[in-house]
Structure 1
Amino acid sequence: MVKVVVLGAHGQVAQIVEKFLFADKEVKPSLFLRNAARMEDKKNQATIFEGSATDAAQLEKAMKGQDIVYANLGGKDEIDLEAEATVEAMKNANVKRIIWISTLGIYDEVPGKFGEWNKETLGDYITEYAKAAKRIEESGLDYTIIRPTWMTNKDEVDYEKSEKGEPIKDTEVSRKSVAAYIYHLIKNPKEDVDKSIGLGKPGTEGDKPSWY
C-alpha cells in the first residue's frame, strides 16, 4: 500500500490523477487544498486536509505517514514560497519522495520561435517557477520535476519525455497524459528520481500551440 498526499488537490491535472488513485486499491490517497469544501464529495475516498501550501506546519500535518508527496501547486506570486514550505514540511515529516509540477522554459530549454513566444507569453511566471524548481533540486529530497508543454483537455495519453539540458520542441500535451505519467511515478517511485522531465506530445512541433 502506497500512501500519497496530493497538494493542490482541486487542480485540473490533480483531479485526473485522483481518478487513477481512487480506482487503485493499492494506493491510499490524501488530498490537501485551500478550501476542503470543494472536495467534500471525495471524503469517502480520501483523507482531506484544508490549509495553505505556504504554511509548513499545515503541510506537515498532511504529510506525516505519507510515502509520496505530489505537489500540483501554482500561482506566480506564491510558487517559490510554496516550494520553500513544502521542502521544510517534508523534512520535518521525514518524507523523501516528491513529484513537483513546474512549467516549460525554466532552463531556457525551448528553442526558436516557440521559445520566444513561450517567454513572451509566460513572462515572470517562468522566473518564479524556475526559482521554485531550483529550491526543489537543491533540497536533498528524492524529486522528479515535471515540465509539461502547453496543456489540452484531449482524452488521450500520448507523450514523450526529455531530460534537463535537452531542448523541448513539442508545443502541447494533454492533461490526461501528464496525469498518466504522474500516476506511473506514484506506482514506480524509484523511476526518474533526481530528474527534471519535460513532457510533450510527439508531432506537435511549431511556433506556438495549435489553438493560438
Structure 2
Amino acid sequence: MANILILGANGQIARLAIQQLLSDGEDHHLTLFLRNASRLANLKGPRVDIIDGDAADATQLEAAMAHQDVVYANLAGHNIETQAKAVVTAMDHAQIKRLIWISTLGIYDEVPGNFGKWNHQMLDNGYLPTYAAAAKAVEDSDLDYTIIRPAWLSNEPSIDYEITHRNDTFKGTEVSRASIAALVVDLVDHPDKAVRDSLGVNKPGTDGDKPSFE
C-alpha cells in the first residue's frame, strides 16, 4: 500500500491510472490534485481525497505532499517547465523522493527517420522545447524520478507496450493511453523500478513514418 499524490488528476492517462490503482488489490490511498476539483468529486471516498490547486505553486504542492509516498505528475501546458520546478522544490521541502513524470517522445531528439522528422514538424512549435526543459529540471534534481515518454497516444483499450531507455533510439510511433496508465501503476507497485531513468514507450510493431491514426 502507498499514499500517492496524482498531479493533473483529470488528464486522460491519469483517470485511467486512477481506475487501475483503485482496482489492483494493493489498497493504495490516492490524493487527486487538479484545478476545478469538482470535476472529480464523484471519486471522493475512503481511499480518495481531492485537492483543488495549482501545480505551478510550490507552496500548494508542498501542503498536498504531506504523508505521501509517491508523486505521479500528469501535467501539461505552456508552463510545464515552471510546474516541473515547482514539483521538484515542493518534493525537496516535503522530503519525498519518488516521482513519476509524464513527458513526451522527442525531447532528446531520439526519434529516428521520417517519423522523427514528422514528429518535429508537429511538435516544434514550442511544445518539444518546453517539455524538454521540464524533463531537464526533473533530471537535474536529486529525486528518484522516472520520466515516461509515450509515443503518439491512442484510445485503444488494450495494454501492449515495450520500453526503450534514456540513450536508446525510440521505437514505434504510437501507444495506447491504457498502456501508459498500466506502466504508471507498475511503477507505483514496484517503486524500485526504473529509478532515475527515462522510458520511451511504444506499442510493438508500430514502426512507420507516422502513427496509423494520423
TM-score, with length taken from structure 2: 0.97
Distance 2:20 2:5 in 1: 14
Tell me the equivalent position of 2:108.
Answer: 107
Provide the secondary structure at the position in 2 that maps to 1:135: helix
Are 1:161 and 2:163 an aligned pair? yes
Q: Is the 8 A contact 1:169 1:206 kept in 2?
A: no
Q: Is the 8 A contact 2:13 2:181 kept in 1?
A: yes
Tell me the equivalent position of 1:17.
Answer: 17
Q: Following TM superposition, by how much is the alpha carbon of 1:180 offset from its aligned partner in structure 2, in angstroms?
A: 0.3
Tell me the equivalent position of 1:176.
Answer: 178
Provide the secondary structure at the position in 2 that maps to 1:85: helix
Q: Is the 8 A contact 1:114 1:169 kept in 2?
A: no
Per-residue CA deviation, residues 113-163 of structure 1 (Å, 9 max, x unaligned), is 000000010112010000000000011000000000001000111000000
Aligned mate of 2:49, from 41, 47, 58: 47
Tell me the equivalent position of 1:119.
Answer: 120
Distance 1:169 1:208 in 2: 12
Q: How does 1:50-65 map to 2 (within 5 A)?
A: 50-65=52-67
Per-residue CA deviation, residues 28-70 of structure 1 (Å, 9 max, x unaligned), is 1110001110011011141111110000011111111100000
Tell me the equivalent position of 1:37.
Answer: 38
Q: How does 1:67-82 map to 2 (within 5 A)?
A: 67-75=69-77, 77-82=78-83
Return structure 1 stretches of 4+ with deviation > 2 angstroms.
none
Query: What are structure 1's unaligned runs of at least 5 residues?
Result: none
Q: Is the 8 A contact 1:34 1:51 kept in 2?
A: yes
Are 1:142 and 2:165 an aligned pair? no
Q: How many residues are aligned here?
A: 211
Provide the secondary structure at the position in 2 that maps to 1:83: helix
Q: Is the 8 A contact 2:164 2:171 kept in 1?
A: no
Q: Following TM superposition, by how much is the alpha carbon of 1:193 offset from its aligned partner in structure 2, in angstroms?
A: 0.1
TM-score, with length taken from structure 1: 0.98
Q: Following TM superposition, by how much is the alpha carbon of 1:169 offset from its aligned partner in structure 2, in angstroms?
A: 2.9
Identical columns (%): 50
Query: What are structure 2's unaligned runs of at least 5 residues?
Result: none
Q: Is the 8 A contact 1:64 1:94 kept in 2?
A: no
Q: Is the 8 A contact 1:150 1:209 kept in 2?
A: yes
106-115 vs 15-24, which moves further: 15-24
Q: Following TM superposition, by how much is the alpha carbon of 1:20 offset from its aligned partner in structure 2, in angstroms?
A: 1.2
> Aligned partner of 2:184: which letter?
I
Distance 1:175 1:200 in 2: 10
Q: Following TM superposition, by how much is the alpha carbon of 1:25 offset from its aligned partner in structure 2, in angstroms?
A: 4.6
Provide the secondary structure at the position in 1 that maps to 2:172: coil
